Amino acid sequence: MSEQYSKNDLKNMGIVALKKIAQSNKIPGYTKYNFGNKQDLAEKIFDLQSKKKPQSPIPHKPKSPIPQSPIPQKSSPARKPLCYNKYTFDNLNSMTRNEIISLFGKLKLGGKPTRRDEMIAYLCAVEQNRRCKSPDWECDDDLVCDASNQPNEGVCISPEIAKKRGFKWFDDKRIIGNTNAIKALNKRKPAPSPKQSLLPTHIQSPPHTPPLSLLPTPKLSPPHTPPLPTSPKLSPPPHTPLPAPTILYNITYTHTLDNFSFGNLSKTEMIEIFKDGRAFSHFIEPWLAFNYSNLHHVKGCKKHDHVNMIDENIKYDQKTFTKRGCNFMPSNMVGQGRKFNQEIFKEKAKNLIYIIVSNINFPEIKVKFVHGIDLLVKYPKGIIQLKDFDKFFN
């Protein structure tokens, strides 16, 4: 084994990287290992390299030095820069998507990317680049600051990755961020300074009391200067700030959405559309992943809608509470001609966390995370009646 790894390094490696090391060292049966038992393979590699420690060289008598011209020593190759958690880019690139998602979840960044290459870029950027901070949010060289994590430190990323993110730019600066971050940054902008007069200098009113020579009589009051424009006082937000730092169970979060449109449809028409649970679900599922930490949206999955980015075995299913109530049984048991199987329903519900979202008073929405096993106790048939709305969310 040419390269020695510590036990901690091996345990943090992805299953693909571990299998490559096992293959090069001819460890039998390495192909049977997977993401679930990769720690066993890490232990096996560590035990093997411990047995193959290099022997110390045999001591020899030093020969008398012969005068000669100095031989230039070859410089050792530069070490590859490290990314998050002491991984290299190659280490991260050899990991599976789920392993990268799990690792990225530990960063707890707002506005997290979902593409594999973008997540790897962020994992390297947080370690290799200086972090951008309030109030300037500046990065070195031509890097762009992703301020989605504000008020905490942002991440300095390359312009190429910034363009891929498709975020809004703040005030024509090299700052990007999600909708909530840009709103927060706009609120903190200083009040604009008063416009300068276009009159010649000798006619303009000076900022302070004018010289006595310019005053016709001492009775005249100095020219009235209009007060500087001030920013309106902002009252604290009445609802839970976005993004929510952590997911708390059996707690009702309330949000008011004010930034939604489609072409020239009126806001009233848009509200009616979003009160339809079928249309609403296409938007609320990615919105939840964007605004709640460690929540990853699983597109096109019929068994569940989200997974936990740190532990993918934790699965979530989003259900909408409409003016008809909330039906949280599996979709293949809902509808005309379909049968409700309570045993299958109970088995599935026990392994899920439900995200119940009310769109009854849209654009105000209510969000509540509840373990399926708790819902089964109160609603064993998978239906929450409309009359239980206040009781459920309060």
Band the pLDDT of 319: cuts 50, 70, 90. Answer: very high
Q: How many other C-beta atoms can be found within 10 angstroms of the C-beta atom of residue 366?
A: 20
Provide the pLDDT for residue 177.
79
**Cβ-contact 162, 146 below 8 angstroms:** yes
**Is the pLDDT reported for residue 316 higher than 80?**
yes
For residue 48, is it within any domain? Answer: yes
Q: What is the DSSP letter of 349?
A: H
**Is the pLDDT reported for residue 369 higher than 90?**
yes
Average pLDDT, the chain: 77
| Closest to 92 (Cα-Cα) out of 129, 122, 121, 120 | 120
The percent of residues above 70 in pLDDT, for the chain, comes to: 73
**Is the pLDDT reported for residue 198 higher than 50?**
no
What is the chain's alpha carbon radius of gyration, rounded to the nearest angstrom?
31
The position carrying tokens 């030095």 is 65
Band the pLDDT of 393: cuts 50, 70, 90. Answer: very high
Q: Is 203 exposed, middle or buried (0-12, 13-18, 19+ CB in 10 A)?
A: exposed
Band the pLDDT of 232: cuts 50, 70, 90. Answer: very low
For residue 123, is it within any domain? Answer: yes
Mean pLDDT of 2-9: 74
Report residue 157 as tokens.
């990323």
| Neighbouring-strand partners of residue 252 | 368
Residues 355-368 pLDDT 10s: 999 999 999 999 99
Q: Which of 154, 188, 222 is the last residue of a domain?
A: 188
Residue 23: give the domain boundaries. Answer: 1-52
- How many domains does the chain contain in total? 3
Higher pLDDT, 212 or 324: 324
Alpha carbon separation from 349 to 274, 330, 339 (Å, rounded): 27, 9, 17
For residue 227, is it within any domain? Answer: no
Task: Using DSSP, state whether 118 is helix, strand or coil.
Answer: helix
Residues 107 and 27 placed together within one structural domain of the fold: no
For residue 87, is it within any domain? Answer: yes
Residues 25 and 126 placed together within one structural domain of the fold: no
The amino acid sitting at 367 is V
Residues 140 and 260 placed together within one structural domain of the fold: no
173: Cα within 13 Å, side-chain hemisphere: 17
For residue 360, is it within any domain? Answer: yes
Mean pLDDT of 233-243: 42
